[in-house]
Amino acid sequence: MTIDTLHQQLSDKKISSVELTQDYLKRIATSNPDLNSFITVTEELALADARAADDRIKSGKNVTPLTGIPVGIKDLFTINGVRTTCGSHILENYTAPYTATVVQRLQDAGAVIVGKLNMDEFAMGSSNEHSYFGNVRNPWERDHIPGGSSGGSAAAVAALQCVAALGTDTGGSIRQPASHCGVVGIKPTYGRVSRYGMTAFASSLDQCGPMARTVRDCAEMLNVIAGFDPHDSTSLNLPATNFSADLGKSIKGMKLGIPKEYFIDGLDSDVAKAVEAGIAELKKLGAECVEISLPHTEYALPCYYIVAPAEASANLSRFDGIRFGHRASHPKDLRDLYELSRTEGFGPEVTLRITIGTFVLNSGYYDAYYKKAQQVRTLIKQDFLKAFESVDAIAAPVSPTAAFRFGEKTDDPIQMYLSDIFTIPCNLAGLPGLSVPCGFTKDKLPVGMQLIGKPLAEATILQIAHAYEQATPWHGMLPPGVTL
């Protein structure tokens, strides 16, 4: 079920939003014990939203494509009066006192919020194994990870627990789980979507984006959530863009760059095959594909693992057990309160990254690590800008492998981090990137193809992805046991 078919049914009064929402809530109730994709199901809120949507549809006023559509929200966006955990023990009992701009925009458009989705703690992870609330399981194969950090969002969309979901992407956290769960996910240009009310991991890299089963649904979601927000001074003040306007237009004559640095030894052969077939399909659709070089690609990961933990170490200082969140019992003094609350409250991956981030910002090491990383970031950005002088978009794999098994990479952080090696450059450069399903491995695990666009060229990569999607069968496939 996609947004436009459901919108049609709602408009034709074939089904009410309350009925639709009840269907989805039922589906969540049945499948969530197995998948664990939701941390909180907001049943009451959802039904209230649904009733309001039905009123809107009845009156015919302010009806948008999202009116009455059940959506899920990654549990790091605030909703006034709703628990917001960020997948962390430290926020286990935190009730947000305000609503994130993107959630507000969805609600204003009439969307129905069905719940808060599981995630790696504070969005730090690529497997969803770092959630305090337990692993999310991949709907295609239960003993495999769904990807991360927006694993709950990807799994929920794939398992039809919601029509679309919000995720966030700091180093691939939308695209990688989308790829691993066989759904579409887009990380917009940095600044396209407001970050107000989105708990920060690494502020200069974080960007909110939609995840859905089709390219068109992602575009519809983006139409609602994108745009300048006076509460986020890094959001871009630009005229409104219609992200679905170019869907259906031919991609004939478009020039696509295939970065040679993304087809390396570590790339799984099944994944390589699927992506190469995807590129071949794009050629068939009339796109011209040329090899390009992004020479600093190999430095993106080390660069990211300095910049992101540095920003995170400061962003997570506010979780101190003083104004909200977990506080250690009976601290003997202030230092005890801080150190025990934080040590008890944060999981191991978050703790490790705070430690790394604190280290690289330390005055004695700042130039060697943080400043150096920022300079390398400039070079990575320049690589892309240079490439975009000759191509319209870039096609590449999303992740070197399909979803791996739980526990497979937990002992070696670098092995885990490598899972984001192809998605991180986009965040460092602030570019839009998406993942669109492009096939399966021998083990029946989904594979995604990544499309990276010029700054603000979301419409272009959506157009390409849509053309590809319409020419291939992947988006129509459902995980075993999931029925419409």
* Interface positions, 100-139, toward other proteins (CB under 8 A): 100
Q: Write down the least CB distance from residue 429 to other proteins, Å.
A: 7
Q: Write down the least CB distance from residue 348 to other proteins, Å.
A: 8
Choosing from 15, 355, 390, 481, the residue that interacts with other proteins (CB under 8 A) is: 355
In the structure encoding, which two tokens stand for residue 243, read together?
């992200």
CA 145 to chain CA centroid, Å, is: 15
Dist. CA 178–CA 192, nearest whole Å: 20
**Residue written as token pair 């959530």:** 225
Dist. CA 333–CA 54, nearest whole Å: 54
Residues with Cβ within 8 Å of 273's Cβ and at least 6 positions away in sequence, in order, are: 439
On whether the CB atoms of residues 175 and 158 are closer than 8 A, the answer is no
Q: Which is nearer to other proteins, 324 or 440 (CB)?
A: 324
Q: Write down the least CB distance from residue 383 to other proteins, Å.
A: 12
Q: Which is nearer to other proteins, 219 or 308 (CB)?
A: 308
Q: Write down the least CB distance from residue 16 to other proteins, Å.
A: 31
Residues with Cβ within 8 Å of 261's Cβ and at least 6 positions away in sequence, in order, are: 293, 294, 295, 297, 298
In the structure encoding, which two tokens stand for residue 345, read together?
């409250």
Q: Which is nearer to other proteins, 305 or 388 (CB)?
A: 305
* Interface positions, 286-345, toward other proteins (CB under 8 A): 296, 298-299, 302-303, 305-306, 310-311, 313-314, 316-327, 331-340, 342-343
Give the residues across from 259 on adjacent strands: 292
Only segment of 65-73, 217-225, 230-238, 257-265 that touches other proteins (CB under 8 A) = 230-238
430 binds other proteins (CB under 8 A): yes
232 binds other proteins (CB under 8 A): yes
Q: Which is nearer to other proteins, 58 or 366 (CB)?
A: 366
- 17 catalytic? Reply is no
Q: Which is nearer to other proteins, 176 or 313 (CB)?
A: 313
370 binds other proteins (CB under 8 A): yes
Dist. CA 85–CA 97, nearest whole Å: 13
Q: Which is nearer to other proteins, 73 or 155 (CB)?
A: 73
- 372 catalytic? Reply is no
Alpha carbons within 13 A on the beta-carbon side of 151: 38
Dist. CA 299–CA 322, nearest whole Å: 39
Q: Which is nearer to other proteins, 5 or 415 (CB)?
A: 415
**Residue written as token pair 């090696």:** 421
CA 64 to chain CA centroid, Å, is: 23
Choosing from 3, 10, 96, 287, the residue that interacts with other proteins (CB under 8 A) is: 96
Only segment of 138-146, 216-224, 242-250, 362-370 that touches other proteins (CB under 8 A) = 362-370
* Interface positions, 42-81, toward other proteins (CB under 8 A): 76-78, 80-81
Catalytic residue, from 17, 173, 179, 419: name it. Answer: 173
Choosing from 362, 385, 386, 471, the residue that interacts with other proteins (CB under 8 A) is: 362
Q: Write down the least CB distance from residue 156 to other proteins, Å.
A: 21
Q: Which is nearer to other proteins, 128 or 235 (CB)?
A: 235
Q: Write down the least CB distance from residue 476 to other proteins, Å.
A: 35
In the structure encoding, which two tokens stand for residue 44, read together?
């009451």
Choosing from 47, 361, 478, 482, the residue that interacts with other proteins (CB under 8 A) is: 361
Q: Which is nearer to other proteins, 287 or 340 (CB)?
A: 340
Measure Cα distances from 252 to 201, 255, 282, 471 in Å: 39, 9, 9, 14
Order the strands of the 164-169 sheet from edge to edge.
38-41, 112-117, 70-74, 164-169, 207-212, 184-187, 433-440, 446-453, 393-397, 255-259, 288-292
Measure Cα distances from 202 to 43, 128, 207, 313, 417 in Å: 31, 18, 9, 9, 15
Q: Write down the least CB distance from residue 202 to other proteins, Å.
A: 8
* Interface positions, 163-222, toward other proteins (CB under 8 A): 189-191, 195-200, 202-205
In the structure encoding, which two tokens stand for residue 298, read together?
């190999």
Choosing from 234, 242, 250, 293, the residue that interacts with other proteins (CB under 8 A) is: 234
- 173 catalytic? Reply is yes
On whether the CB atoms of residues 211 and 167 are closer than 8 A, the answer is yes
Choosing from 365, 408, 440, 482, the residue that interacts with other proteins (CB under 8 A) is: 365
Binding track over 383-422 against other proteins, x by CB under 8 A: -----------------------------xxx--------
On whether the CB atoms of residues 234 and 191 are closer than 8 A, the answer is yes
Give the residues across from 246 on adjacent strands: none
Catalytic residue, from 31, 74, 150, 399: name it. Answer: 74
Question: What are the φ and ψ backbone dihedral angles of 196, each rounded to 5 degrees?
Answer: -65, 120
In the structure encoding, which two tokens stand for residue 383, read together?
């690589």
Catalytic residue, from 16, 17, 149, 341: name it. Answer: 149
Just list the catalytic residues: 74, 149, 173
